Amino acid sequence: MPSPARQAVRFPAEVAPLNAVWNQLTATQVAPPHWLIIVSGVVALAIVSYRPAWHISRGLVTIAHEGGHALVAVLTRRKLQGIRLHSDTSGVTLTRGRPTGPGMIATAAAGYVAPSLLGLGAARLLASGYVTLLLWAVLVLLACMLLMIRNLFGVVSLLVVGGAVFALSWYAPQDVQGVLAHGAVWFLLLGGLRPIIELQSKRRRGRAADSDADQLARLTRLPGTFWVVLFLLVSGAAFASGAYLLMVSGPTA
Q: What is the mean pLDDT of residues 16-44?
A: 86
**128 closest CA partner among 246, 33, 251:** 251
pLDDT digits (tens, 9 = 90+) for 183-208: 999 999 999 999 999 999 999 998 88
Cβ proximity of 251 and 31 under 8 Å: yes
pLDDT of residue 13: 54
Beta bridge partners of 92: 84
Position 151 confidence tier, pLDDT thresholds 50, 70, 90: very high
pLDDT of residue 12: 58
- Quick check: is 253 in a domain? no
User: What gap in Å lies between CA 146 and CA 137, rounded to an integer?
Assistant: 14
pLDDT of residue 16: 62
Task: Please give the residue range of the domain that contains residue 97.
Answer: 32-248
- Quick check: is 69 in a domain? yes
pLDDT of residue 63: 98
Mean pLDDT of the chain: 91
pTM value is 0.90
What residue type is assigned to position 147 of the chain? L
- Quick check: is 4 in a domain? no
Inform me whether the pLDDT recorded for 149 exceeds 50.
yes
- Quick check: is 12 in a domain? no
Beta bridge partners of 91: 85
What residue type is assigned to position 243 of the chain? A
**186 closest CA partner among 35, 28, 39, 55:** 39
The residue ranking higher by pLDDT, 82 or 23, is: 82
- The domain tally of the chain equals 1
**CA angle, corner 98, sides to 96 and 103, nearest 5?**
90
- Quick check: is 123 in a domain? yes
Cβ proximity of 65 and 92 under 8 Å: no
pLDDT of residue 253: 46
User: What gap in Å lies between CA 14 and CA 28, rounded to an integer?
Assistant: 24
